[in-house]
Amino acid sequence: MAYQILASLCTACGACEFECPNKAIRIKNDIYFVKPEKCTECVGHFDTPQCVAICPIEGACIQA
């Protein structure tokens, strides 16, 4: 199951975009989002999803 970024909490800092090993995080109209077809929850790359680990706002990146 893919992660998603809650636009209402996201500060658009951009940290998650560069940490995603699958390049599943994109920005459009100043809003970050996760492409679910590319998100693997970092399985095979890291022990924890990097979007959650790097996000400075708790709860902005959640499992969908």
Average pLDDT over residues 10-19: 96
Q: What is the pTM of this model?
A: 0.89
pLDDT grade, residue 1 (50/70/90)? confident
Q: Hey, what domains does the chain have and what are their CATH numbers?
A: 3-63 (3.30.70.20)
C-alpha 2/C-alpha 22 separation (Å) is: 12
> Is pLDDT at 5 greater than 90 in this prediction?
yes
- Phi (first) and psi of residue 47, to 5 degrees: -75, -25
Q: Can you give the length of the chain in residues?
A: 64
Supply the pLDDT for residue 14.
Answer: 95
Supply the pLDDT for residue 9.
Answer: 97
Burial 46-55 (b: 16+ CB within 10 A, else e): eeebbbbeeb
pLDDT digits (tens, 9 = 90+) for 16-59: 999 999 999 999 999 999 999 999 999 999 999 999 999 999 99
